[in-house]
Structure 1
Amino acid sequence: MSDGGVAGQAEAETRPGRFARLRRHWLLTSALALALLATATTVPLVLADSGDDAPCQDVPASTRALAKDPAAATRALDPGDDMARYPAVRKLIRQENPCGDGARALGALIEAATRADRPGAVHTVAQARAAYAVVAALDWAEVPDGMAPGLARMLADYVVDEARYLSSSDDAAGPAVTSEQAAPDREGWTRYGRFLAPGEAHADFEYTDPVLDASTDPDRLIEEVARNPEAFAVLYDAERAYFAHYLERLTSQGGDPDSRREDDPRDGSAATTWPDNDLEDIAGRIGALMRYRAAHTRDGQIPDLAAFDRAVRQHTRGAYRPAERRLTTRPPMGDIAGRPVSGPLRGDLADGRHQLLTVLDAWAESRNVPEARAAAMGQIIDNAYVRGLWLSV
């Protein structure tokens, strides 16, 4: 794997380091010791250990049982439309050092609460709100490694929602929207994406609640879990599956078949405006995954890159190729990420640019896309991938 940009990347630290608590405890211990020496006072010194020696948190049987009851799990993690239960959700799942297999148990609970019930099923509003609450509750958290695969599968189940996230927005009215709220307007446009499944609710990761200090940044959570090879593979699969899904629903001109906007002479075809934006988002996410891989290698969280890459390939499902004819179906998000593979993934898995552009070229050839339009799409995807690889998405 060669295109992850491990060498030469410069990236500023943007979150608390994993040893921040250790430094704080060391300073506290030193200050207390000096105070005791100065006063010649003898008192029992009891301080919580840090790092691997920190006391673990037990995950009770009642919490573990929720993973086997999806309806109850959703109720437990649904913050409500008014976010009144968000503090309880945060307390339940934000555990940085669960005992034993507790991290995997929490990951299983999150999956049960947020993912679609079965293939072909759409997300409910309660499930979408729960997904928002999970991402908000774990913002800036040091996610235990055992939770990472479950969180990745949750994010993959909301691939359309996380891919469109850019930043918090005052236009977002709540943690999730109904299918009616997400429906396209008379011009065929909606801020929640293209080709949405009828009846599906969507998590709105752009929503923020300053009173509860609740906000989300899916990119930060993706960066955190991407140090786990299984989680990395799940997310990489989901983005590549979404890319194939998206292409096979475009017209042979690379446009949105549902667009009814009039063309703007300044911006060109209205039908291609939002597809270009969406393809940028997808390519940028894949580039960012490779950037996270490089960053985790530099900071030692991926101690053996070759072993990590082998594990990623073992967990990767395969390649995704668009259909040779335009599809008009609108599957739910869970089915997008879980679509059947087209065959084994060939070539350098970390060369995301190659993986994207070979799929685009095959689609353009099979659909007789005009050469100029195919070239323009390729340039958009290439630029977005490079930005994702080297810069913040």
Structure 2
Amino acid sequence: MSDGGGRFAPLRTHWKLTSAVAVALAALAVAVPVVLADSDDTPPCQAVPTSTRALADDPTAATRALDPGEDLGRMKAVRALFVERPCGDGGEVLGRVVDAGTRTAGQPHSVEQARGAYAVVLALGRGEGPLPAGLATAAARLLGEYVVDQNLYFGVDRDARHPAVTARQAATAMFNPGRFLAPGEAHTDFSYSSSSLSSSLRINRLLARTVWDPEAFAILYDAERAYFAHYLERLTDGGADPDHKAGVRGVSPTSWPDRDLRLFGDRFGALMGLRTQFMRDGTIPDVAAFDRTVRGHTRGTYLAAARRVTSRPAQGTIAARPVSGTVEGDLMDGRGQVYAVLEKWAAARRTPGTRVVEMRREIDVQYLRTFRYPV
């Protein structure tokens, strides 16, 4: 899917509706994408059908429409919702459908919403070129809404059985969808891959179609920084897992936190690596203007609490946590921003210096690797 407007794929202003399509629509009264084209070789755009537009104002119907099913049997129908090159406000409308179908403000995600999130990422991550502006920001909000689940994505897991797990499954060690989970919440398993699919889902491919938009970049960067503070403040003073159970061979109190810190490095590295890649290939023609716009959309900085926090809020509320103040330093120095938060947390919690060095190293290794190869 390419941009229906904006800097990357400017549409012509004089579109003509072919009479054959108009007659067919009038006769059949069926909601199908209307194809609009001009006289040159510009690829036609498609009008978003009335039936799809209606989903934006009906969350229950939107969730049902985006849910691909436990076996992804409806994935083809979900893909069909996201028309290629939407005309006019089509990108914005499709973004509202994503918002409506994958979240309920302040509430834990249902398994149907979680499967819908998987389907949206799978459908949009497979296309080429930047997403339209309205859909790009919605995709960013989706990844921010599911920040715990998408942070755990680190490639295909052939042992994964479903695109989402129920709250009961999430509470068992077998599924391990992360730490500090809200009770009663389903989780998307973005590492799931069905043999019926031609290729596996790739979170970073969707990022690459999304973060050309400075507002989308800011949404994701805010979500990741908010989650990092949320995560740190739930660790022990020694930077360990407070829920660690002794007796499991090869698993220490810091084993899972170390893994999670590497994944944080991966997500921050992907964002900053894509920004650098887009600077080089011209996708971002004016990086200074891009950075100013990102900063303008950024909510602020996020610091971890000075004492350990034991609450387990719904995943979708993490990115909306209150800011701790305005951003200090270079916002686009990803590691610098992360390490400043880590150091302040460690000082407040009196974390041993050796452990802080270990934590920085875990973040750093994966950050650098993903920064070089973000997609």
Please tell me the TM-score bracket, short chain as reference: 0.7 to 0.9
TM-score with structure 1 length normalisation?
Answer: 0.82
Pairwise CA distance, 1:392: 4.4
* 1:122 alignment partner, one of 108, 117, 124: 108
Report whether the alignment pairs 1:84 with 2:73: yes
* 2:184 alignment partner, one of 192, 199, 204: 199
TM-score with structure 2 length normalisation?
Answer: 0.86
**Residue 247 of structure 1 aligns to which amino acid in structure 2?**
L
Pairwise CA distance, 1:153: 0.1
* 1:364 alignment partner, one of 330, 346, 352: 346
**Alpha-carbon distance in 2 for matches of 1:305, 1:201:** 39
Matched ranges for 1:266-345 at <5 A: 270-345=252-327
Q: Aligned residue pairs: how many?
A: 339
Q: Which residue of 1 aligns with 2:231?
A: 246
- Note the aligned Cα RMSD (angstroms): 2.1
Q: Which residue of 2 aligns with 1:111?
A: 99
* 1:98 alignment partner, one of 74, 86, 103: 86
Pairwise CA distance, 1:160: 0.9
**Alpha-carbon distance in 2 for matches of 1:193, 1:50:** 53
* 1:349 alignment partner, one of 331, 352, 357: 331
**Alpha-carbon distance in 2 for matches of 1:130, 1:214:** 18
**Alpha-carbon distance in 1 for matches of 2:40, 2:143:** 28
Q: 1:30-79: CA deviations, max 9, x gaps?
A: xxxxxxxxxxxxxxxxxx88999211100122211211111111011111
SS across alignment from 1:271:
coil
Report whether the alignment pairs 1:381 with 2:363: yes
**Alpha-carbon distance in 2 for matches of 1:212, 1:302:** 32
* 2:125 alignment partner, one of 139, 157, 170: 139
Do 2:223 and 2:319's aligned partners in 1 also have CA atoms closer than 8 Å? yes
Matched ranges for 1:212-227 at <5 A: 212-213=197-198, 215-227=200-212
**Residue 378 of structure 1 aligns to which amino acid in structure 2?**
R
Distance 1:85 1:190, change over 3 A: closer
Name which one, 1 or 2, has greater alpha-carbon Rg.
Answer: 1
* 1:176 alignment partner, one of 164, 168, 174: 164
**Alpha-carbon distance in 1 for matches of 2:206, 2:352:** 39
Residue ranges of structure 2 left out of the alignment (5+ in a row): 1-7, 10-36
Q: Which residue of 2 aligns with 1:66?
A: 55
SS across alignment from 1:57:
strand
Do 1:136 and 1:214's aligned partners in 2 also have CA atoms closer than 8 Å? no
Pairwise CA distance, 1:223: 1.7
Pairwise CA distance, 1:86: 1.0
**Residue 161 of structure 2 aligns to which amino acid in structure 1?**
A
Q: 1:128-158: CA deviations, max 9, x gaps?
A: 0001111111233132233100010011111
**Alpha-carbon distance in 2 for matches of 1:321, 1:50:** 55
Q: Which residue of 2 aligns with 1:210?
A: 195
**Alpha-carbon distance in 1 for matches of 2:47, 2:175:** 44
Distance 1:236 1:251, change over 3 A: same
Do 2:269 and 2:374's aligned partners in 1 also have CA atoms closer than 8 Å? no
Do 1:137 and 1:214's aligned partners in 2 also have CA atoms closer than 8 Å? no
Q: Which residue of 2 aligns with 1:230?
A: 215
**Alpha-carbon distance in 2 for matches of 1:324, 1:341:** 15
Q: 1:189-228: CA deviations, max 9, x gaps?
A: 8531111111111111111122243631111101210111
Residue ranges of structure 1 left out of the alignment (5+ in a row): 1-17, 20-47
